[in-house]
């Protein structure tokens, strides 16, 4: 299991468009991936789950992955968040 915390810093947080990019990237991996905010954990491959966290600018989130490509998944998803989704 690999766990990494990062902060969402793009202007509008994780709204529909960046959340869609995040889910698409998460679905490229075989491992199970979760996103956690304030002790609430959702499936990071589910758009409704990720949107339900209500992530706004400045929110710290934890990405958790477990499976064969867990390290790569966490690294790439954290990099996507840190790039501010190219906005």
- pLDDT tens string 1-21: 999 999 999 888 988 899 999
The CATH number assigned to the domain with range 2-86 reads 3.30.1340.10
Predicted local distance difference test score (pLDDT) of residue 85: 81
Sequence-separated (6 or more) residues with CB below 8 Å from residue 46: 23
Domain map (residue ranges) of the chain: 2-86
Integer distance in angstroms from the first to the last C-alpha of the chain? Answer: 30
**Backbone dihedral region for residue 16 (phi beyond 0: left; psi -120 to 50: alpha; all else: beta):** alpha
Per-residue pLDDT of 30-69, as tens digits, reads: 999 999 999 999 999 999 999 999 999 999 999 999 999 9
Q: Is residue 87 predicted with pLDDT exceeding 80? A: no
- Active-site residues: which are they? 15
Q: What is the pLDDT of residue 48?
A: 96
pTM: 0.94
Interatomic CA distance for residues 49 and 26, integer angstroms: 13
pLDDT at position 54 = 95
C-beta of residue 4 within 8 angstroms of C-beta of residue 74: yes
């Amino acid at each position: 299991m690999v766990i990494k915390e990062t902060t969402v810093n793009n202007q509008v947080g994780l709204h529909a468009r960046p959340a869609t990019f995040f889910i698409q990237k998460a679905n490229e991996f075989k491992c199970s991936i979760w996103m956690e905010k304030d002790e609430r954990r959702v499936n990071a491959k589910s758009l409704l789950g990720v949107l339900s966290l209500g992530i706004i600018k400045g929110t710290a989130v934890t990405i958790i992955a477990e499976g064969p490509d867990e390290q790569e998944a966490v690294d790439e998803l954290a990099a996507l968040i840190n790039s501010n989704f190219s906005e």
